[in-house]
Amino acid sequence: MKPQLSIVVPMYNESANIGSFYERVTRVLEGTGYSYEIICVNDGSRDNTLELLKELRRKDTRVKIIDLSRNFGKEVAMTAGLDFAAGEAVIPIDADLQDPPELIPQLIDKWQEGYDVVYATRLRREGESGLKKLTAHLFYRLIRRLTPIDIPADTGDFRLMSRQVVDALRLLRERHRFMKGLFSWVGFSQAGVPYLRDPRHAGRSKFNYWKLWNFAIEGITSFSFLPLQVFTYLGFFIASAAFLFALYLIGDKFINGNPVPGYPSLMVTILFFGGIQLITLGVIGEYIGRIYNESKRRPLYLVRDAIGFDYQSARWNRREV
């Protein structure tokens, strides 16, 4: 019998959080009255995350495990969980308990009202540095301006999605996956639920500032061509300004007989335009690199083991990864 709710939990070195997460999420799910499954995706953990998950599975068969062959990253691990989820509603959530499982009943209530996607919007982020809060705030507002897709601000992956939405997401197999954008791209009726984000229960975040920077670039380049368009307009503006300046120099030479400006101004101009050209090539390279990766058509992930899934379901999903 298929469960009504599927909880998808990407995990990478989360051994310190598994016990507390399981206790809180099961307590909440039992109170909803819905049948459920908890799909834990082990994303190549190097600690004993997999062993602890197997212990939970022996105690509770509603816990199911997808063991990926290596670390593929959170976005792909979440995709694997969505591929295997069988519930009528699917809820991705992190194991670090920053997103409180106690919010799930509110997500379900909105779903019962007829919404296909119910996302959780952060009113406050506890346990994070001021710099991280500021950069996250700026990023969400920047990407909303850069893309034609309405991506909700201050909203992560924690949300409820109907079966129809999950089936639509399973059709999207691009390798460079910015899931927050994909959740919005598929459309359907969406509503938000505000909440206060808690500090991480245990351990340290796997996202440093370098990874967050790359994540931001991933999101922008996945859903916007504006960076390329900006440099097109910038090139046109610089070329026009250079043409006008050349006319000025020619006129000044004939009228006043002034010599051509000297070496310092020439070097500054050359270095400035050289920098602009390198930045432009870098932006073009980001898009070309993504085209190259997509053209290889490799599977998004490889599954070492799928524990708790029936044979037909696991085989079908392996064929589609």
Residue 90 and residue 184 in one domain: yes
Q: What is the distance between the alpha carbons of residues 110 and 195, in angstroms, rounded to a whole number?
A: 14
Confidence of residue 139 (pLDDT cuts 50, 70, 90): low
Task: Report the mean per-residue pLDDT for the chain.
Answer: 78
Q: What is the distance between the alpha carbons of residues 47 and 71, in angstroms, rounded to a whole number?
A: 12
Q: Which of 68, 75, 69, 165 is nearest to 115 (CA)?
A: 165
Residue 286 and residue 307 in one domain: no
Residue 231 and residue 181 in one domain: no
Confidence of residue 316 (pLDDT cuts 50, 70, 90): very low
Residue 34 and residue 164 in one domain: yes
Task: Produce one character per residue of 17-44: b if its CB has 16 or more CB atoms within 10 Å, e if not.
Answer: bbeebbeebbebbeeeebebbbbbbbbb
Q: What is the distance between the alpha carbons of residues 183 and 166, in angstroms, rounded to a whole number?
A: 9
In a domain, 52, yes or no: yes
Residue 34 and residue 96 in one domain: yes
Higher pLDDT among residues 122 and 24, named by residue = 24
Confidence of residue 257 (pLDDT cuts 50, 70, 90): low
Residue 248 and residue 148 in one domain: no
Q: What is the distance between the alpha carbons of residues 85 and 10, in angstroms, rounded to a whole number?
A: 13
pTM over 0.75: no
| pLDDT tens by residue, 39-94 | 999 988 888 889 899 989 988 888 999 999 898 888 888 899 999 988 889 999 98
Number of domains in the chain: 2
Q: What is the distance between the alpha carbons of residues 59 and 24, in angstroms, rounded to a whole number?
A: 16
pLDDT at 320: 43
Higher pLDDT among residues 126 and 25, named by residue = 25
Chain centre to alpha carbon of residue 11: 15
